[in-house]
Amino acid sequence: MLEIKNLHASVEEKEILKGIDLKVNAGEVHAIMGPNGSGKSTLANVLAGRPEYRVTSGEALYEGKNLLAMAPEIRAREGVFLAFQYPVELPGVNNTTFLRTALNEARKYRGQPEMSAGAFLALLKKRMQLVEMADTLLSRAVNEGFSGGEKKRNEILQMAVLEPRLAILDETDSGLDIDALRIVANGVNKLRSKDNAVILVTHYQRLLNYIVPDFVHVLYNGKIVRSGGKDLAMELEEKGYDSIKEKEEAASAIQ
């Protein structure tokens, strides 16, 4: 589904990603872990097409197509979804209208008929149960005045409505208490299927107790330095990132 080859990317002339290789197949859940500043969020945002991030070399193929050449909205309509680490507040933009506009854009793109307000509302109510979200949040402006947990749940609600093939969750667990974490994780788990894939970007192993990954990758200094199964996350939890840092620094010293 996604094949990233030797991806380099910069923000404001500073190189953050220094050669990422990653292959994600349908049905898989990949966790990207690593210390702060390692480039995890940059990778997530580059895949979603944030304009401030400049890809300097390498490629990313999504279902065989050149993902990096697509505008952010085309990537979304093609089925790529980024759950933001810091969901943006949009005062004055109604949550329901926003979601319906987004869904109908994707449907038009795929040649499907647009969904009526009534049909959409029915779908929305169903999806809201997944994230145990209160009805009142629907009539409010997108994320405005939402608590941290509500914002993250709203991201997963958007994901549930848009049904992406490739979902990238950027630190969705940060700032969540244990109940909110459980709700968010539940939502994601229910959306897992053999046809779609999930990339979880996280600093902590905690989320992976709830969403069990098939693969764990450790990002350090803009590169994937280790990959393994879910046990790797446990090992990191025990030893911390320092062991990785030391090893990498020792390796670069030898070179």
Which positions touch other proteins (CB under 8 A)? 48-52, 71-73, 75-77, 81-82, 84, 87-88, 90-93, 98, 101-103, 105-106, 109, 141, 158, 162
CB nearer other proteins, residue 109 or residue 241? 109
**CB 244, min distance to other proteins, A:** 30
CB nearer other proteins, residue 109 or residue 204? 109
User: How many Cα atoms occupy the beta-carbon half-sphere of 50 within 13 Å?
Assistant: 15
**CB 201, min distance to other proteins, A:** 15
**CB 192, min distance to other proteins, A:** 21
According to DSSP, the residues that pair with 31 across neighbouring strands are: 200, 216
CB nearer other proteins, residue 62 or residue 84? 84
Q: Which of 64, 46, 65 has its CA nearest to residue 54?
A: 46
**CB 241, min distance to other proteins, A:** 29
CB nearer other proteins, residue 88 or residue 212? 88
| Amino acid making up residue 216 | V
Helix H or strand E segment including 225 = strand 223-228
CA-CA distance, 78 to 80, in Å (whole number)?
Answer: 6
Q: Can you read off the two tokens belonging to residue 156? A: 């997963």
Q: 93 near 141, Cβ under 8 Å?
A: yes
